[in-house]
Structure 1
Amino acid sequence: MAPINVVAIGASAGGVGALRSLVSELPASFSASILIVLHIGAHRSELPAILTASGPIPAKHAQDGEKIAPGQIYLAPPDRHMIVNNGSIRLLRGPKENCARPAVDPLFRSVAESYGPAAVGVILTGNLNDGTAGLYEIKRRGGIAIAQAAYDAAYPAMPTSAAAHVALDYCLPLAELAGLLQKLVERKTAKEPAVMNEFAAAKTEQEPEIVASGIFNRPITVTCPDCGGALKKFEHGSIIKFGCHIGHTYTAEIMESAQFEEMEKVIRAAVRFLNERAEFCLQMAELFHRSEPAQSSQWHEASKQALDRAYKLRDLVEQDWLTPETNHVVAERDGRVHSN
């Protein structure tokens, strides 16, 4: 087993509490470098101070170009992807991945490429599935893949996705992760056999949908919710991803969410324009109320029409929408996940 030089950790919702708990249990003698991405967006973050106060290992926001040192926690700063290259940290304001910047996947991919078997990837609590594709790369290049047990996570979606798509070496409750990491760094334990569910997806041809007595023609391509560029579908193991030429990438689950969010934005903008049209027409009706009653009536009808269509659009976007599951939950052995 190769010496462990880097531990890369990804978290989202519920991540602050999970990270505090984890670093509080790590010893001051922990010799590997720890690199952490928490989904903080562009918002100011006090996480370095929080984690430094929680345990014996100092934490800081990473700086572009600095050398990675052992026994140090590096955190991705707001609105920057954090990657590693030739033993140094790079901070990039590249395209968002899975609707996040910083995102977990870029860090994990770079750690996999730079450290191979000397890397550990850890997925903690969070929504959706950022980090799954990156953890797959760490595992593929000989590193160790770990996820918090889904039943133990405040938000289980991220560890559940990791368990569904990556042959995890360990899947443990949060309270046991620090001890495992210390054993791995001290090379006191070996990797467990990989266990992964087999997935089989039946492919069916999509028939044109009949809409209002006409044929709904399939679009030429699916476009990026961020920039409108054409998306290309590609696969990492059992993970389906979509990427545009700009560099925005989405897993299938996050693509579904981002696509709906963009659709909702467009429909609500249309509702606003219809409301404004209704108000404009009403003002015109009032203007002609005395001088030209017939024309005033036409403006009133136009205002009512705009309001009616605004209500229909509002009801359309607020009704329930089908959201097919694209992840499979890994069956837990004897009702529990395996541990070391």
Structure 2
Amino acid sequence: MDSETTIIVIGASAGGVEALRTIVAALPADLDAAVFVTLHIGAHRSDLPWLLARAGNLPAKHPRDDEPIVKGNIYVAPPDHHMLIEAGNIRLTKGPRENWARPAIDPMFRSAAQAFGRSVIGVILTGGLNDGTAGLFEVKTHGGFAIVQDPAEATASNMPQSALENVDVDHVLTAARIGQCLKELAAKQHAPDALENVSALVAPEEMDMDAQFTLNKPVAVTCPDCGGALRRSQLGSLMQFSCHIGHVYTMEVMLAAQFLAVERFVEQAMRSLSERAELCGIMAEKLPALQENDAERQLWVAARKEAFDQNAFLRTMLTREWIHPARRGAIEMSHGV
């Protein structure tokens, strides 16, 4: 496929189905572009291709791995797979989650920018936290065009607002206007001028790991997914963390992920203390009812009480109201569509 082929990449999360249906309804059957969509669906079965095909004039599908790119088609990232865009085909991978998502928006945007450069139009729609911001930054870095849904219209304004704060966005539009804008840009065979004085950024999974983990200043945090050391990088004003495995987080997602990791570890400690209390109780009961065993039995009873007391302390810590100053909102859970 020609590198000048217009590639439209659209990322959405909470509330994204209706916005996508509105956009697709405005696209003509002879659209001179290929459209790629990633919605946060996790591993859930998805009916999104069927919904988008019914909403507009273009066929929509989950692509196969290594499927050729054909203009006039809508390709939807399948459940539990990142969708990557190469020069002439589509690659599906179960690579590491990014911003706690698979499929994630950033890998799709990043791969499209690297393969098609100035021929890419990136669109960020409604969603929580900020997956897609780093990818849209890459689109602009490689000379592409950036469109963001008006946060005032979005069901969840975090994703579009983050894109506006960190990327030099070309248009801020309602979903209805985005569809019309994409139609016009594709008809004009849109090719924006490449940005000057901006170096292309390397995808985290493609970085030389020796250089990445020896030249950068270390940060005292570990990956919430695998426990590996994290390195910090900067995409304009957006900060990212990545590990050896390839998990990637923005600062906002990292804060949320780290807090859930704390909860998980506290819950594991609570389970271990409950098990200790149970075992101490069994030890106290199994001692023969002899006078010489009373002191030992009381020690096991005391140990059981100690475990219960410490468990109660952890439960208080787990259920208290913690301060969450970040305004990006709570972690968004994926739902099948």
Q: Does TM-score exceed 0.5, indicating one fold?
A: yes
* SS of aligned partner of 2:68: coil
* SS of aligned partner of 2:78: coil
Residues 239, 20 of structure 1: alpha-carbon distance in 2 compared, 3 angstrom cutoff = same
1:127-146 matches, within 5 Å, as: 127-146=128-147
Q: 1:281-335: per-residue Cα shift (whole Å, max 9, x none)?
A: 22333334843333332222211111111111121122222334387xxxxxxxx
Counterpart check, 1:161 vs 2:158:
no
In structure 2, the residue matched to 1:223 is: 222
In 2, Cα distance between equivalents of 1:120 and 1:81: 19
Q: Contact 1:43 / 1:78 at 8 angstroms: preserved in 2?
A: yes
In structure 2, the residue matched to 1:173 is: 174
**Residue 18 of structure 1: CA displacement?**
1.9
Pairwise CA RMSD:
2.4
Q: Single out whichever of 131-140 and 316-325 deviates more from structure 2.
A: 316-325
In structure 2, the residue matched to 1:252 is: 251
In 1, Cα distance between equivalents of 2:184 and 2:269: 57
1:1-340 matches, within 5 Å, as: 5-187=6-188, 221-288=220-287, 290-291=289-290, 292-325=293-326
In structure 2, the residue matched to 1:211 is: none
In 2, Cα distance between equivalents of 1:239 and 1:323: 20
* SS of aligned partner of 2:83: strand
**Residue 81 of structure 1: CA displacement?**
1.0
* SS of aligned partner of 2:303: helix
**Residue 241 of structure 1: CA displacement?**
0.5
In structure 2, the residue matched to 1:334 is: none
Q: 1:227-284: per-residue Cα shift (whole Å, max 9, x none)?
A: 1211111101001001112211111011111111111111101001111111222233
Q: 1:213-233: per-residue Cα shift (whole Å, max 9, x none)?
A: xxxxxx973211111211111
* SS of aligned partner of 1:222: coil
Residues 326, 237 of structure 1: alpha-carbon distance in 2 compared, 3 angstrom cutoff = farther
In 1, Cα distance between equivalents of 2:219 and 2:22: 49
Q: 1:134-192: per-residue Cα shift (whole Å, max 9, x none)?
A: 1001112211101111111111111111011011101112222111111111229998x
**Residue 109 of structure 1: CA displacement?**
0.7
* SS of aligned partner of 1:44: coil
Letter in 1 for 2:183: Q
* SS of aligned partner of 1:74: strand
In 2, Cα distance between equivalents of 1:314 and 1:145: 46
* SS of aligned partner of 1:145: strand
In 2, Cα distance between equivalents of 1:177 and 1:3: 21
In 1, Cα distance between equivalents of 2:312 and 2:288: 26
Letter in 2 for 1:12: S
**Residue 25 of structure 1: CA displacement?**
2.6
Residues 306, 126 of structure 1: alpha-carbon distance in 2 compared, 3 angstrom cutoff = same
In 1, Cα distance between equivalents of 2:22 and 2:281: 60
Unmatched runs of 5 consecutive residues or more in structure 2: 196-217, 329-337
Q: Contact 1:36 / 1:73 at 8 angstroms: preserved in 2?
A: yes
Q: Contact 1:3 / 1:187 at 8 angstroms: preserved in 2?
A: no
Letter in 1 for 2:143: G
Letter in 2 for 1:251: T
Runs of 4+ in 1 over 3 A off after TM superposition: 188-191, 286-294
Identity among equivalent positions (%) equals 48
Residues 31, 189 of structure 1: alpha-carbon distance in 2 compared, 3 angstrom cutoff = closer
Letter in 2 for 1:47: L
* SS of aligned partner of 1:151: coil
Letter in 2 for 1:234: S
Unmatched runs of 5 consecutive residues or more in structure 1: 195-218, 328-340
Letter in 2 for 1:173: T
Residues 189, 42 of structure 1: alpha-carbon distance in 2 compared, 3 angstrom cutoff = closer
Highest RCO, 1 vs 2 (Cα 8 Å, sep ≥ 6): 2
* SS of aligned partner of 1:155: coil
In structure 2, the residue matched to 1:337 is: none
TM-score by length of 2: 0.83
* SS of aligned partner of 2:233: strand
In 1, Cα distance between equivalents of 2:323 and 2:289: 51
